[in-house]
Amino acid sequence: MARSLAPSPVIIVTGANGGVGYGICQRLLVQLCQRNAPDAQPQAFASELKLEGMESAPEGYQGLTLIMACRNAKRAEAACANLLSWLEGHTKKLLKTCSKEDAEYLHNFRAHCDIQIMELDLASVSSTLKFADSVRKSVPYVSHLVSNAGVASFSGIDWLGCFKQCLCDPMGFITSPEYYLQHTGEISVDNLGWVWQCNVFGHFILFRELEDLLNKSPFDGSRVIWCSSLEASPKFYDSEDWQLKTTEHSYESTKYQIDIIATNLDQLALRNGSRTRHLINEPGVCSTPISRNLVGPFLDILKVWAFYVGRLFGSPNHPIVPYKAAISAVHLILVPLCFLPVFLTKDSSQPARFGARSGRWGSEYVGLTPVKKWDSHKEEGQDLIRRCDELYTSFKTEQQQTREFERASERM
């Protein structure tokens, strides 16, 4: 049976110790523990694609190398321990009901499933470069880079704006809030915009550093999955403040930068015949500890109830639970590329993002949303890639000079 299985994917998930990142790891393991993973099957939007010959997902995989990239080592260890404990229980449950052939597959997969922890602080260029160096030393290739980690520098609530949006736009109030106050002027240790480096530039460095490993993937193509948000918007974005040091809406702006950077990188890859595709994941509305730390446990409970009410009244944007919110990322990892449209299927001028969606009663699926105002911001995305490449090159040059100086000092 092993001969018919696909090679083991090597998947890096940043921010994997909690929230959607942990949900991605958990859901990915659920899918790969079974043959013909449901999340690898085409979604409804794929029926509108004109396909020349049908490609199918692998029946299963020989194993998995999952690298949980986390900033806090202790939290990462705890998350990994919880994941392994949960996986053991999930495996035992499956073995009680599965067929002999499925049990054989499951035993083989578990024997070749390697979950690793690696420390990564995206707010530090040196940490990011060190992480990439560790990856190069530990694996022969990378098949998927899931750029999930991100920060939001919330400072409080604009209560007047909160009540105003609640009254004037109740669905927007619980879907894409505009009343969170955010810190401004935060600078990283590298003298860059802190939120910008964590959400955008750190992941851009990772892609560039791991590009050679991505090109060595044994699959038809490797994938970089960028995590955006329903709140991604050009509304607050000023291209002059491209490191987002002065904006009062750094979170929304970084997510919009991700949209236009990833879209440009993917279109460039398609033109050049690159083996690495760039896909945009958007997890919908999910309950995480971020807002709980901001408003306290009581209001956080009310917020989650409001999410469920919104979903009951027809909002498709509220998967709410991290495991359900992970469906879009896991689908992008597993489904054949031929089932993923580059543009919205009904509008060839609108690049597509892939979002986690939910039915009224909680059944999750993947939907499409557009990159907002793409035509008027396409060139800004190209300019951002150029700026990021220049910054990346300058840091790499500085690192190389430092190493040469240290070697020279040792010889003296």
Helices (H), 169-313: 170-173, 194-196, 202-209, 211-215, 250-272, 289-295, 297-312
**With 70 as the cut, is the pLDDT of residue 82 above it?**
yes
Which residues are registered as beta bridge partners of 355? 282, 367
The rounded distance, in Å, linking the Cα atoms of 381 and 388 is: 10
**With 50 as the cut, is the pLDDT of residue 288 above it?**
yes
| Kind plus residue range of the DSSP H or E element containing 358 | strand 347-358
Query: What is the mean pLDDT of the segment spanning 135-141?
Result: 98
Mean pLDDT taken over the chain: 93
Specify the pLDDT at position 2: 44
For 291-327, write each residue's pLDDT tens digit. 777 778 888 899 999 999 999 999 999 999 999 999 9
Phi, psi of 96 (to 5 degrees): -70, -25
Contact 153, 123 (CB under 8 A): no
CA-wise closest residue to 369 among 180, 176, 181, 170: 176
At 114, which amino acid appears? Answer: D
Which residues are registered as beta bridge partners of 115? 66
**With 70 as the cut, is the pLDDT of residue 53 above it?**
no
Pairing between strand 364-370 and 347-358?
antiparallel
**With 50 as the cut, is the pLDDT of residue 1 above it?**
no
At 357, which amino acid appears? Answer: R
**With 60 as the cut, is the pLDDT of residue 3 above it?**
no
Residue-range domains of the chain with CATH: 2-411 (3.40.50.720)
Specify the pLDDT at position 248: 93
CA-wise closest residue to 246 among 193, 201, 198: 193
- Provide the CB-side half-sphere exposure for 39 (13 A, CA): 26
| Kind plus residue range of the DSSP H or E element containing 101 | helix 100-111
Q: Which class for 7: exposed (0-12), middle (13-18), buried (19 or more C-beta within 10 A)?
A: middle
For 176-230, write each residue's pLDDT tens digit. 999 999 999 999 999 999 999 999 999 999 999 999 999 999 998 899 999 999 9
**Contacts (Cβ under 8 Å, ≥6 apart) of 281:** 146, 148, 225, 226, 227, 228, 328, 329, 332, 353, 354, 355
CA-wise closest residue to 175 among 284, 259, 100: 284
Phi, psi of 219 (to 5 degrees): -85, 175
Query: What is the mean pLDDT of the segment spanning 124-142?
Result: 98
Q: What percent of the chain has pLDDT over 90?
A: 85
Residue 166 pLDDT class (50, 70, 90 cuts):
very high
Contact 287, 303 (CB under 8 A): yes
